[in-house]
Structure 1
Amino acid sequence: MEKDGILFHNVARIRATKAGPLLDRVPAAVFAGLDEPATHTSSDASGVELRFVMQAPTVKLTLSVEAAAEAQVAYIRYGSFPGTWAAANRILTTVPTPVTISAPANLKRLQEVARAANLAFDPAVVRICLPYCRTYYWGATGAISVPRAQQMPKQTYLAYGSSITHGSLALNPLATYPQLIADRFQADLLNFGFPGSAWLEPALADYLAARQDWTFASLELGINMLDAFSPAAFRARVRRFIAPFAADPRPVVATDMVVTDYPAAPEKVRAFRQIVQEECQGKLPYVSGLQLLAQLTDLSSDLLHPTAVGMAKIARRLGDFMIASGSVAGPSPNQV
């Protein structure tokens, strides 16, 4: 969506709440079709960026975030280039906070380097990469405009899944496995990870598959449904969720639980993994989550969420599978 000269990337609407104007990744009609607790996580801002082109030396945006246990940081990029040490990130709080952005003094040189390296983004596009939480937008001042399509990637990767896709414990939004895959293939990213609530709702499947703004996609299926769904109910949801993607001519790959240690229900984990494999047979290319991440040392202390190193391994292995399955072409030598 566009507002105030800003492209709100991966945002469907700004909804009024008691805490402020909240960014949300799905439209109201889709929101109404989400199960509890997914209705609470569609507004968690993974993969959400505020993008604009500056027509003034400085621009000021006012943002705030929900209360959280960890520091919430917005990361600043000029196209594909992170900002310098003085302009790389800004801490956000629960109080509306002005974030001042300065245009880089060496923009023309950055653009020359970007063109020579075939980078996907024009460095004139300022990208405010928002943190893993609910973010509220209060307004902007300064002369800015929405980036042109030619200034952004030519292809887009859509990723659906749990908090692992959403990016929990990746440390920053630029280190999630979907973002690393998007960067590898010079693609834009639409991150539809739903932390704790990837319940494969039909309304969401239909909405994502019907979007015409993605080129290739991946579906991470299962981990959030282990406690709330029987194998039979899970199978029905998997079958219904992948159906519109299987009918779409665009390449889509599927995986199951990127987890190697679930002592509470090991047999159920195996059953769910087998269900995903069986339901994808003849419909979508499938890779087991065990092939993406199998070492407990690549997980955080909950033995569930990948560390930054674990995210990088998932990104590399899933990206390799995408190439092997013909879902996406590998990067050219000057992009490696």
Structure 2
Amino acid sequence: MIYEVVELHNVAETVPTNGGMRLQRVPENVRLELNEAAQIRVLQPDNCEIRFVCDDEPCYITLSSEGETNVTVFFGTFDGRERYTIGNAPTTIRLLPPNRLKELDLEFSKNQPFAPNVCRLICGGRCRDPLVLHAIEGKGIRPPRPDELPSIKYLAYGTSITHGHDCEGPHLNYVAQTAWHLGADLVNLGVAGACHCDPAFADYIAERKDWNIGTLALSVNMHGFPLDLFRERVSFMVQKVAKANKERTVACITLYPYFRDFDISDPNAIYGGPPAQYRQALRDAVNECSLPNLHLIEGPKLLTNIGGLTCDLIHPSDNGMIEMGRNLSSELKSLIN
């Protein structure tokens, strides 16, 4: 969306609060139809971006957080090497493209998905509380043009693994890594602990017009659901999203490897069945839908090395995320080429 003189990417709505505008990944009317945990998660701004071009003059972006929020600066695909942790007090960030990038001949960057003059403040990482935009100041600021942005639009729905938990930065979660390998623009709709295939979320993803590749990672957050309810919910989401536009590629991903695959259980959890049954239920949902644009990808084929997990044996580390992004992008390339 365009807000004043910048683009707010992966932001569906801004809501007035605390003297500014809170960035939300889904509209408020959709948020209120989601499960209680998802209502909180979609306020977390993972892979939300404030994007703009300011070629000659510095610009100033003032932000605050409803807790703490990590912000990483990129110029196009180039890491700006600036990291900020935004707190409750409004913080102003000064931004200007580095001189060396200004000197870079376009011949060398013409095949990059982002133009190097696009300044990108990317939210997410270890700290991900709701972010509030207070002010945009400077001369000559404008939103990026379409030709300065990727033409491929990739939407991802899933759990905390999609959301980007335990990553050192928003560019390191597996969906961001997938987007990097595809040369795509990422819409991250991960909802940590709350990926329950809500009908309202299925409707919202299906109705969006701004993506042409989508992945649905369904869903370790539902391993406590009775299998019949799991089947019902994933079948609804899969059919709703895939049938909405048969020109779009949709890939469903089975459960990634986690501690239950290694004969470890959480004594405080109630399970509806073993992981294999949930994986099979998603396979069945995809097969029953039988659409040419709908595909299945096995989660264990994306994360192949147990050492790529953190010590909770469910969330991937940066190393695991990087492997997953490389493998998932390879799978998706084979589907779209």
What secondary structure is seen at the aligned counterpart in 2 of 1:173?
A: coil
Deviations 1:275-319 (A, max 9, x none): 111111134211221222243321112111000010011112212
- Cα 1:136–1:306 change in 2 (3 A) is same
Look up the match of 1:332: none
Q: Structure 2 counterpart of 1:94, which letter?
A: N
Look up the match of 2:99: 105
CA separation in 2, counterparts of 1:232 and 1:25? 30
Q: Following TM superposition, by how much is the alpha carbon of 1:94 offset from its aligned partner in structure 2, in angstroms?
A: 2.3
Deviations 1:167-204 (A, max 9, x none): 11121001111111111111111111111111111111
Q: Does 1:66 align with 2:32?
A: no
CA separation in 1, counterparts of 2:332 and 2:97? 37
* Partners of 2:49 and 2:123 within 8 A in 1: yes
Look up the match of 1:155: 152
Q: Does 1:237 align with 2:230?
A: no
Q: Does 1:140 align with 2:136?
A: yes
- Cα 1:222–1:100 change in 2 (3 A) is same
Deviations 1:146-186 (A, max 9, x none): 11111111111111101101111121001111111111111
Q: Following TM superposition, by how much is the alpha carbon of 1:141 offset from its aligned partner in structure 2, in angstroms?
A: 1.0
- Cα 1:166–1:114 change in 2 (3 A) is farther
Look up the match of 1:290: 300
**Out of 102, 106, 127, which is 2:120 matched to?**
127
CA separation in 1, counterparts of 2:258 and 2:322? 17
Q: Does 1:92 align with 2:89?
A: no
- Cα 1:266–1:309 change in 2 (3 A) is farther
Q: Percent identity?
A: 30
CA separation in 2, counterparts of 1:3 and 1:55? 19
Look up the match of 2:258: 260
Unaligned runs of 5+ in 2: none
Two-structure CA RMSD over aligned residues (Å): 1.9
- Cα 1:19–1:296 change in 2 (3 A) is farther
Look up the match of 1:26: 26
Q: Following TM superposition, by how much is the alpha carbon of 1:236 offset from its aligned partner in structure 2, in angstroms?
A: 0.6
CA separation in 1, counterparts of 2:331 and 2:150? 22
* Partners of 1:114 and 1:122 within 8 A in 2: no
Deviations 1:92-141 (A, max 9, x none): 2222111111232234433525544x011111111111124121111111
- Cα 1:214–1:111 change in 2 (3 A) is farther
Look up the match of 1:322: 332
* Partners of 2:55 and 2:117 within 8 A in 1: no
Look up the match of 1:333: none
